[in-house]
Structure 1
Amino acid sequence: MANNMLQYTILSNSAASWLIAFGIIIFMILFAKGISKLVAWFSVRYLTKVDHRNFKETISQRLARPLSRFLFWLITFIALNNLYFPRALDFFVFKLHFSDIVHKLAMALLIFLFFNMLIGVVHMVATVFKRSASKSADRSLIQLTSLLSDLVRAILVVLCILVIFKSFFNITAASFATSIGLVTAALALAAKDTVENIICSIIILLDKPFLLGDYISVNGTSGNVERIGLRRTVLRTDTKTLASVPNRDLTGNKLENVSNQTFRRFRQEIRLAPAATAGQLENFVQGIKEIITAQGAVVTSNTIFLKNTGNQGHIVFMEYFVSITMAYADFCALNQKINLDIITKMEALGLQQVLIIADLNK
């Protein structure tokens, strides 16, 4: 009786065949996640020198989860592929057998899951290198790892689409190679700006005009470099907002890397009323020099002189430098103290100010 029930035909397959297929699927539902975690942890712990305890979340999210999905659907498709496709469901859709369409969709899903797993591996490798570079404070390696990981993932996405396309339409190897060339040319024309930005990102990687964390200024936008991507670089501006700058703007325009400067500079021009006498002006210039000298070794160098004179007033130029290691808040406090002392000196000499033009550089 039991044998007869197992041999009973359901949708072109025996009951026994269906039970075996569903048994395998249920097994994968129950154990695919556990098997994937075991394989991922074993691979990281015993096949690499990486301390797996520092990458628990990354291993779980980027290795175990994609591997679990791929294994589940791979075994499921293998189990179902041993069955005959039900004749009742094998109708025509646009002159194609429905069974062929289902098979092609299944292959497309497997290809997608496989490449998604590879992208997870790339992300895991990039995370390991970034962590190592962060410990050694190697900003160049962090930048290199970030760009290369983005580039490899982009290549994998394009390959995934092309392989799915080849599998779905049964393209031969020669036609597939031709298609790749045509698609590449079409993408280069349609996404010219994107391709240009990717090339510029490689130029930035090789020339290293700036690194992660540097303070740069380009086209009126200034900020600390937070991320260098394939298409654009993200800056954290002075107002704490994020600004995205296309990479071609960073290589094709004047770029100032403020982080590479060795000193902070304060420059100021003081315009005095024409009524000031030569003696007052001489005493005033000498007084400013004494004020700067009184700051000690904080001010590394200075320049103070009577720059210009005329019926519009007398211009006294002053400039001094401090070490870049001085905090910006301390730099501002120093400028304020010096300016207050200059105002006191002007009052003592009876000088009248016409206009002050200041340029405070960070």
Structure 2
Amino acid sequence: MTNVLDQVILGNPIQNYFILAIVLLFVSMIKRYLSQWLANLLFKEVRKWAPDIDQHEFSHLLLRPLEYFFLLVAFMLTIDHLNFPPELNITVYNGFSLKGILSTLLELALTLSIIWIILRVIDFVSLMISKSADLLHDKTDNQFIVFFRDFFKAIVFIFGAIAFIRILFGAVLVNKIIAGLGIGAAALALAAKESIENLICSFIIFFDKPFRVGDTVKVDTYQGAVEKIGLRSTRIRTQDKTFVTVPNKKMVDSILDNISLRTQQRAVFRLEVAGDTAADNLLKVLQDFKALLKQHDKVADGFIVNLNDFTKDTYVIQVIYLTNVIEGVPFNQLKSEINLGFIKILENHGVKLSSTTVEIHEK
């Protein structure tokens, strides 16, 4: 049996292949437990900073990448003790040997697993911070976390791409790229001027907070609820339920009306009555209009009811009032209720309309 294990196949004794198989089998069997043990060990430390984090959430993020990482490291450490068969060290393409290609693939796989772990750590940190943000009931903080999660992931991808280039083409090309950035930085900045401006404006939005996720805003001709603030643009769900993407630079530079921050809503009502209406009846209408608004609990004090203008054919009555009702549907119901009250008052005093123009301005 010893002689059989000592036989050399492809430049290595058979027993070395058995050792490789046993190590991989062993690591495959314990990788879940080893990853769980390491995740639990890390969770004990993390729980001090985020007591609301569930252990299952933490383990779910890290278990899979840790398993592949341990298996890959065990494989690389084991095959390092094997001799690459000389008969397989052939030139595959343009001077690249099979040994070099396999070694490069292993380095790429290890780099990819490390990047995977780092991305999961970023996800976990954002989850940990979002748990604290949920306690404050602030949607902007949650969007702020999503923003920086994507930002740091983009940085990881950039460094990962540089690492891949170094593995595939060597450090010389990476050095040339870095050296070339000094020359091409101006051209790159000029080409990416709009993107850089939008990125800077996204930071301005998060720190200055002119609006938050969930706010209803109006910018230029677009009005709707803010659903997401991204690295380059802000997504708005319009009143027509369309999804509009507005560059962050426009959100910062344009005059933006944050409708959600208004404390009251203003309504302007203009009513034209017939020019042959008696002055006494007109005065009674104005008095009843005032009484109606004064008795209404949803109309703020300081309303205006007056004879705003008149011509040879009409008298123009103007009504301006403020209300604490902000939402669209309740506000429209309130207007309908008050308008019906005005119509009844006109009927009670026998006042006829020459023409009726109603203008509602919401500010």
CA distance in 2, matches of 1:38, 1:273: 87
The within-5 A match list for 1:1-362 is 2-50=1-49, 54-92=53-91, 93-172=93-172, 174-175=175-176, 177-178=178-179, 188=189, 191-238=192-239, 242-296=243-297, 298-310=299-311, 313-323=314-324, 328-348=328-348, 349-359=350-360, 361=362
Offset, 1:290:
1.4
Unaligned runs of 5+ in 1: none
1:269 is paired with a residue whose SS is strand
Are the counterparts in 1 of residues 50 and 128 from structure 2 also a CA contact under 8 Å?
no
Are the counterparts in 2 of residues 264 and 361 from structure 1 also a CA contact under 8 Å?
yes
Q: Number of aligned pairs? A: 360
Identical residues among aligned pairs (%) = 26
Alignment CA distance shift 1:32-1:327 (3 Å): same
Q: Structure 2 counterpart of 1:178, which letter? A: A
Are the counterparts in 1 of residues 274 and 313 from structure 2 also a CA contact under 8 Å?
yes
Offset, 1:184:
6.3
Alignment CA distance shift 1:220-1:12 (3 Å): farther
Alignment CA distance shift 1:360-1:15 (3 Å): farther
Are the counterparts in 1 of residues 275 and 354 from structure 2 also a CA contact under 8 Å?
no
Offset, 1:333:
2.8
CA distance in 2, matches of 1:190, 1:140: 31
Alignment CA distance shift 1:330-1:341 (3 Å): same
CA distance in 2, matches of 1:21, 1:214: 60
Are the counterparts in 1 of residues 53 and 128 from structure 2 also a CA contact under 8 Å?
no
TM-score by length of 2: 0.87
2:235 is paired with a residue whose SS is strand
1:227 is paired with a residue whose SS is strand
CA distance in 2, matches of 1:47, 1:54: 9
Offset, 1:298:
4.4
Are the counterparts in 2 of residues 45 and 52 from structure 1 also a CA contact under 8 Å?
no
Are the counterparts in 1 of residues 293 and 299 from structure 2 also a CA contact under 8 Å?
no
CA distance in 1, matches of 2:312, 2:5: 113
Are the counterparts in 1 of residues 107 and 167 from structure 2 also a CA contact under 8 Å?
yes
Deviates more, 1:136-145 or 1:331-340: 136-145
Offset, 1:233:
2.4
CA distance in 2, matches of 1:275, 1:341: 22
Deviation digits for residues 64-104 of structure 1 (CA, Å, limit 9, x no counterpart) = 22222222222222222332223333222122112112212
Are the counterparts in 1 of residues 270 and 358 from structure 2 also a CA contact under 8 Å?
yes
Alignment CA distance shift 1:26-1:176 (3 Å): farther
Deviation digits for residues 85-137 of structure 1 (CA, Å, limit 9, x no counterpart) = 23333222122112112212221221122112111111111111111111122
Alignment CA distance shift 1:179-1:98 (3 Å): farther
Q: Structure 2 counterpart of 1:70, which letter? A: F
Are the counterparts in 2 of residues 215 and 223 from structure 1 also a CA contact under 8 Å?
yes
Deviation digits for residues 279-329 of structure 1 (CA, Å, limit 9, x no counterpart) = 4443332221111011146434312222333357443222211225x6654
Offset, 1:30:
2.0
CA distance in 1, matches of 2:52, 2:297: 52
Deviates more, 1:337-346 or 1:71-80: 71-80
Are the counterparts in 2 of residues 166 and 176 from structure 1 also a CA contact under 8 Å?
no
Offset, 1:243:
4.1
Offset, 1:356:
2.4
CA distance in 2, matches of 1:231, 1:215: 20
CA distance in 2, matches of 1:219, 1:264: 20
2:317 is paired with a residue whose SS is strand
Are the counterparts in 2 of residues 306 and 316 from structure 1 also a CA contact under 8 Å?
yes
Are the counterparts in 2 of residues 162 and 180 from structure 1 also a CA contact under 8 Å?
no
Deviation digits for residues 338-360 of structure 1 (CA, Å, limit 9, x no counterpart) = 11010111222322151323326
CA RMSD of aligned residues (A): 2.8
Unaligned runs of 5+ in 2: none
